Amino acid sequence: MLATDLLLLALDDERGSVLPQAAIGLDYGLSGALTMELALRGCIRVEDERVFTSGTSTDDTLLDDALRVIAATPGKTLSHWVQHLPSKVAGLRQRLLDRLVAQGTLAMREKRVLLVFHRKVYPERDARVEHDIRARIDGVLLRGQPPDAETACLIHLAAACRVTDAIYPRGQHEAIKARIEAIDDAGNAGANAVSGAVAQAETAAVTAAMMGVIAASTIAATSAATSAACSASAVSCR
């Protein structure tokens, strides 16, 4: 499944947490993976970047949940679903993690933070699954092998949410980028459209986060300046 493959690539094998480079874009990548998976199975079709359902069910409960959400409001754009499926499909990332734990691919452990809080981490238990995934994408990105449709989709998703930046050395980034562009030129319109929506969603999230930081900093600076002015003039400001 594309979503579990992407999630495995995005996790630190030993720490069991998301790699820093992928932290912002991962949930958008996972929703993009569900969308691509439904398209590969013929359950949805994309017309002028708008998504319509072509089927009613799959053999997978998570995909079925995503399909029902999309069917309820037909004609929304790819970008809309990439941004909103993480909140519309309840517990998307957690359900994928639970699935990988149940399969024996990941372990689940609780980690204490600041001696008070606990959080769950998911280190790798069985490396064979990710090894097979890496062999597929390494063959395409490092050795120039032609990708099948599923591998092409996975590569586009991994690049869009910066997983490729995390798992390959910096010195290989330019060559990998060029190889992905070559895959684009070979014709993978659906993968290109979804990965583009993932990248746009990540950019929007970064922009929103930065605006929040700027707003908070501005409020703090204004408050500090007001306090200083009040102290200097011995005026009571409340």
Query: Comparing 3 with 153, which gets the higher pLDDT?
Result: 3
Query: Comparing 197 with 4, which gets the higher pLDDT?
Result: 4
Nearest to 157 by CA among 186, 199, 94, 187: 199
Give all domains of the chain, ordered by start, each with its CATH number.
2-190 (1.10.3630.10)
Q: Which of 71-85, 182-196, 199-213 has the highest mean pLDDT?
A: 71-85
Find the mean pLDDT for residues 129-137.
Answer: 97
Nearest to 66 by CA among 40, 79, 84: 84
Amino acid at residue number 208: A
Band of the pLDDT at 4, cuts 50, 70, 90? very high
Tokens in use for 197?
């929506």
User: Is the Cβ–Cβ distance between 106 and 120 less than 8 Å?
Assistant: no
pLDDT tens digits along 36-53: 888 888 888 888 878 899
Band of the pLDDT at 221, cuts 50, 70, 90? very low
Q: H helices of the chain, where?
A: 2-10, 26-40, 61-72, 78-88, 92-102, 128-141, 149-160, 163-167, 173-187, 189-233
Band of the pLDDT at 202, cuts 50, 70, 90? low
The whole-number pLDDT of residue 46 equals: 82
pLDDT tens digits along 16-33: 999 999 998 899 889 989
User: Is the Cβ–Cβ distance between 163 and 29 less than 8 Å?
Assistant: yes
